[in-house]
Amino acid sequence: KAGVTQTPRYLIKTRGQQVTLSCSPISGHRSVSWYQQTPGQGLQFLFEYFSETQRNKGNFPGRFSGRQFSNSRSEMNVSTLELGDSALYLCASSLSAANYGYTFGSGTRLTVV
């Protein structure tokens, strides 16, 4: 059974650019959540999608957006990149977070220079 796949694994971007990260969940999982992980702030919740609808949103500026497609694959986009956006971005999918927990991908390491 394939796990959660995130692409790309590593990314280097320049300030002001935009970036799109991709996440393919485990087959059958309709919920996809995104987290930002940094040494200083730990794991910060970005948003959660379920059946193409955003169900939950964290406290991030509007530069951070996402979407989910009919096959449950999800993308997140960050526009006008800032140095502080450098982080590990983690995607997690689940059948039911409360009953089964999350399955995480390996993450995308974004470096903004």
Q: Name the one range near other proteins by CB under 8 A: 48-56, 60-68, 70-78, 79-87.
A: 48-56
Q: Name the one range near other proteins by CB under 8 A: 14-22, 37-45, 60-68, 77-85.
A: 37-45
Q: Using CB under 8 A, which of 21, 87, 92, 112 touches other proteins?
A: 92
CB of 72 to other proteins, least distance (A): 17
Q: Using CB under 8 A, which of 19, 107, 110, 112 touches other proteins?
A: 107
What dihedral angle (degrees, nearest 10) is formed by the CA atoms of 70, 72, 90, 36?
40
What Cα–Cα distance (Å) separates residue 35 from each residue in 1, 78, 84? Answer: 23, 13, 15
Q: Name the one range near other proteins by CB under 8 A: 14-22, 68-76, 78-86, 103-111.
A: 103-111
Return d(Cα 49, Cα 68) in angstroms, integer.
6
Which residues between 54 and 83 bind other proteins (CB under 8 A)?
Answer: 55-56
Q: How many CB atoms lie within 10 A of CB 23?
A: 27
**Beta carbons within 8 Å of 24's beta carbon, 6+ residues apart:** 4, 5, 6, 73
Helix ranges (H only) for 18-96 are none
Q: Using CB under 8 A, which of 21, 26, 46, 90 touches other proteins?
A: 90
